[in-house]
């Protein structure tokens, strides 16, 4: 599981324990099925022809560069289209999760909302008919050309909400995410190590660091979800990507109880048993782990790109980032995804305006604004990469994974309860309460129970 919403930019640290907060947002099924424009009805792209309009937008871009980029883009939209007034309601991710269900089922729903990609939010809203499929606007604006398929799949569902990762487009994200490895350049140099080029090299470097008396890996897992950012890339190195996608998206046709998944779980448990992690990972807070790296107390920290800004502030040029390829001749297969997509609610009175707004805040000029405000643009990422530093590493890694490798879904996307199942099971695996076989069986019970019951 991952801290969605707060991780959607590089400008802030992650916020924990979101699955429970989001479980309260599952909508009812009383809403009528949404529809695109009627057959033969052209999409209106000229906002100036829409008359005086107020567009209500709910977002969770409340911190630092998140808020800055939205403020700039909204002002630019209003300047370009003086006939439109944007009524912005910006809430914390947790608050948005708690209020969105009621808003979408009420009589005064916003026009545009950010909705978490996962099944317990976007998937549930799609199933309830509370979001519009955006395929007609995607065709009109060329969104399928703008966004790589590897990224767009994170906003796609079948009309009944049962299939995730394909089907209609229900929203567009602004920012990207990739899970990789942060490291101290000074520590690698002192150990005589190069930046690992692939997964085998990374595992060798971990062993070397331990043999030379260092703590190879830092992890704070008291919040339960952070271990998923270690297991996900490890699984990606050992399990076929197509199988992980089915498991992560909660689509039928895969199984957790395979030798490959068990090997990945066993490897994680083995790392902890060998002392590769700091002591007491399940009792260490997430922020405390990256702060240890900043203080020179470890060598590697596996985590998401959203941590880069804080680590850069604390470590300057000493911090680097990479996503090890697995196998060596291929791109990295690692966990990642997108920011919360901007969606159009089924109750909007002007879907053309809502779609025009989403197009505006995700176009090429918007990506430049995102980069200027410390965010990771989800498309044309490398174009906006800084000249140096850890942010350059992150931009480069995301571009490489989305073009040459595989961006694997966060595993808690799979089912409404998978975040809790994954978090509890990884804690049990790390502290020895369960073994690799029991871990895969617990994951399979949740996954199979959901996919077979759909």
Q: Write out the two tokens for 284.
A: 């260490």
- The enclosing H or E element of 235 equals helix 228-238
Identify the three-state secondary structure at position 307.
helix
Q: Return phi, psi of residue 87, to 5°.
A: -100, 100
Question: For the chain, which residues make up each domain, given as ranges?
Answer: 6-175+339-379, 178-336+407-453
Fold of 6-175+339-379: D-Maltodextrin-Binding Protein; domain 2 (3.40.190)
DSSP summary character for residue 172:
B
197 CB contacts (<8 Å, ≥6 apart)?
324, 325, 328
Residue 90 φ/ψ, nearest 5 degrees: -105, 120
Torsion of CA 247, 249, 250, 251, to 10 degrees: -90
Q: Are the folds of 6-175+339-379 and 178-336+407-453 the same?
A: yes
State whether residue 450 is helix, strand or coil: helix
Taking only the tens of pLDDT, the chain with its 454 residues reads 444 433 333 333 333 332 333 333 333 334 444 555 654 468 999 999 999 999 999 998 887 788 999 999 999 999 999 999 999 999 877 788 778 888 898 888 999 999 988 888 899 999 999 999 999 999 999 999 999 888 899 999 999 998 999 999 999 999 999 999 999 999 999 999 999 999 999 999 999 999 999 999 999 999 999 999 999 999 999 999 999 999 999 999 999 999 999 999 999 999 999 999 999 999 999 999 999 999 999 999 999 998 888 899 899 999 999 999 987 777 899 999 898 999 999 999 999 999 999 999 999 999 999 999 888 999 989 899 999 999 999 999 998 898 889 999 999 989 989 989 999 999 999 999 999 999 999 999 999 999 998 6
Its pTM stands at: 0.81
Query: In whole angstroms, what is the distance from residue 169 CA to residue 154 CA?
Result: 9
Q: Measure CA of the first residue to CA of the last residue in the chain; give whole Å.
A: 22
Closest residue by Cα to residue 230 from 217, 243, 239: 217
Topology adopted by domain 178-336+407-453: D-Maltodextrin-Binding Protein; domain 2 (3.40.190)
| DSSP states of 344-388 | EBTT-S-HHHHHHHHHHTTSHHHHHHHHHTT--BSSSGGGG--SS
What is the distance between the alpha carbons of residues 166 and 159, in angstroms, rounded to a whole number? 10
Q: In what order do the strands lie in the sheet with 342-344?
A: 84-90, 53-59, 112-114, 342-344
* Helix or strand (DSSP H, E) at 53: strand 53-59
* Two tokens, residue 51: 């008359």
Hey, what are 55's tokens? 């567009």
Q: How far apart are CA 300 and CA 434, in angstroms?
A: 26
Directed axis angle between helix 241-249 and helix 228-238, to 10°? 140
What are the tokens at 158? 């079948």
Phi, psi of 181 (to 5 degrees): -125, 120
The CA distances from residue 53 to 172, 341, 351, 354, 400, in Å, are 22, 23, 12, 11, 41
CB 342 within 8 A of CB 171: yes
Tally Cβ neighbours within 10 Å of residue 438: 15
> Which pair of structure tokens corresponds to residue 266?
């066993």
């Amino acid at each position: 599981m991952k801290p969605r919403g707060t991780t959607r930019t590089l400008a802030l640290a992650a916020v924990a324990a979101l699955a429970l907060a989001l479980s309260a947002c599952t909508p009812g099924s009383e809403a009528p099925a949404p529809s695109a424009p009627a057959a033969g009805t052209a999409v209106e792209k000229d906002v100036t022809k829409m008359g005086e309009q107020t567009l209500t937008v709910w977002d969770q871009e409340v911190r630092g560069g998140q808020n800055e980029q939205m403020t700039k883009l909204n002002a630019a939209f209003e300047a370009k289209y003086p006939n439109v007034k944007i009524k912005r309601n910006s809430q914390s991710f947790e608050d948005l999760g708690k209020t969105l269900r009621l808003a979408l089922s009420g009589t005064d729903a916003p026009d545009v909302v950010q909705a978490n990609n996962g099944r317990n939010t976007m998937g549930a809203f799609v199933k309830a008919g509370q979001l519009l499929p955006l395929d007609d606007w995607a065709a009109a604006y060329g969104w399928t050309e703008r966004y790589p398929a590897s990224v767009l799949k994170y906003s796609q569902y079948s009309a009944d909400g049962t299939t995730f990762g394909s089907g209609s487009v229900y929203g567009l994200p602004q920012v990207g995410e990739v899970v990789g490895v942060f490291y101290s350049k000074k520590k690698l140099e002192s150990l005589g190590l190069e930046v690992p080029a692939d997964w085998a090299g990374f595992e060798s470097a971990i062993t070397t660091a331990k043999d030379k008396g260092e703590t190879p890996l830092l992890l704070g897992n008291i919040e339960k979800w952070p271990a998923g950012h270690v297991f996900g890339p490890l699984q990606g190195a050992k399990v076929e990507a197509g199988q992980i996608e089915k498991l992560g998206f909660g689509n039928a046709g895969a199984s957790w109880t395979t030798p490959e998944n068990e090997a990945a779980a066993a490897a994680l448990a083995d790392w902890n048993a060998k002392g590769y992690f700091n002591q007491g990972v399940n009792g260490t807070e997430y922020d405390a782990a990256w702060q240890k790296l900043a203080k020179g107390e470890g060598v590697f920290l596996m985590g998401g790109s959203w941590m880069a800004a804080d680590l850069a502030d604390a470590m300057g040029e000493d911090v680097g980032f990479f996503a090890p390829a697995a196998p060596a001749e291929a791109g990295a297969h690692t966990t990642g995804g997108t920011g919360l997509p901007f969606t159009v609610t089924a109750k909007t009175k002007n879907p053309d305006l809502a779609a025009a707004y989403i197009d505006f805040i995700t176009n090429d000029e918007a990506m430049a604004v995102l980069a200027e405000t410390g965010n990771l643009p989800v498309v044309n990422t490398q174009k906006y990469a800084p000249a140096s530093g850890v942010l350059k590493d992150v931009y480069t890694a995301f571009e490489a994974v989305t073009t040459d490798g595989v961006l694997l879904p966060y595993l808690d996307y799979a089912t409404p309860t998978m975040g809790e199942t994954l978090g509890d099971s990884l804690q049990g695996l790390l502290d020895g309460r369960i073994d690799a076989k029991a871990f895969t069986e617990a994951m399979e019970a949740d996954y199979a129970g959901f996919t077979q019951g759909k």
